[in-house]
C-alpha cells in the first residue's frame, strides 16, 4: 500500500491483511481498530478474525495491507506467491487469494 493511502486510513476502514504468522500468507479481511500518527508513516492496529475463529488485533506493515476491495493492478509479491502456488497445484489453501 502506498504511504499516502496508509496514512489516510481511519478507524473503521476495511482492509485486507496478509497474515505474516500464516505460512500461506493468505489475505484476511480486517477493520482498522487503531491509528497512531507518526512522522513518516502511521502505526495501525487492525482487527482480524483468525482461522481458529479467534479475534485479535495485528500491527501489520503497510506493505502487507491492501484496501478492501483490493485493486488487482497493485503489485504485491505475497499475492503473486499465492497465485503461483494455486496455479501449480501446490497449496490449495490459498483461501482469500485475489
What does the pLDDT read at residue 85?
Answer: 84
If one counts the domains in the chain, the total is: 1
Whether 40 maps to a domain, the answer reads yes
Whether 66 maps to a domain, the answer reads yes
What does the pLDDT look like over 9-34, one tens digit per residue? Answer: 999 999 999 977 777 788 899 999 99
What's the rounded Cα separation, in Å, for the pair 26 and 84? 13
CATH code of the domain in which 54 resides: 2.30.30.140
Whether 98 maps to a domain, the answer reads no
**Between residues 61 and 98, which one has the greater pLDDT?**
61
Domain extent at residue 83: 3-88
Q: Is the model's pLDDT at 4 over the cut of 50?
A: yes
The closest alpha carbon to 38, from 65, 62, 57, belongs to 62
Whether 13 maps to a domain, the answer reads yes
Q: With contact defined as beta carbons under 8 Å apart, do 60 and 44 qualify?
A: yes
Whether 67 maps to a domain, the answer reads yes
Whether 71 maps to a domain, the answer reads yes
Whether 60 maps to a domain, the answer reads yes
- Percentages helix, strand, coil for the chain (3-state, rounded to 5) are 20, 30, 50
Whether 47 maps to a domain, the answer reads yes
Amino acid at each position: 500500500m502506498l504511504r499516502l493511502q496508509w496514512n489516510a486510513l481511519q478507524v473503521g476502514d476495511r482492509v485486507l491483511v496478509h497474515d505474516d504468522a500464516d505460512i500461506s500468507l493468505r489475505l484476511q479481511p480486517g477493520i482498522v481498530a487503531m491509528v497512531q500518527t507518526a512522522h513518516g508513516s502511521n502505526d495501525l492496529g487492525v482487527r482480524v478474525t483468525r482461522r481458529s475463529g479467534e479475534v485479535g488485533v495485528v500491527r501489520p506493515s503497510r506493505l502487507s495491507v491492501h484496501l478492501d476491495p483490493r485493486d488487482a493492478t497493485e503489485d504485491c509479491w505475497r499475492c503473486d506467491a499465492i497465485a503461483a502456488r494455486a496455479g501449480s497445484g501446490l497449496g490449495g489453501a490459498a483461501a482469500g487469494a485475489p
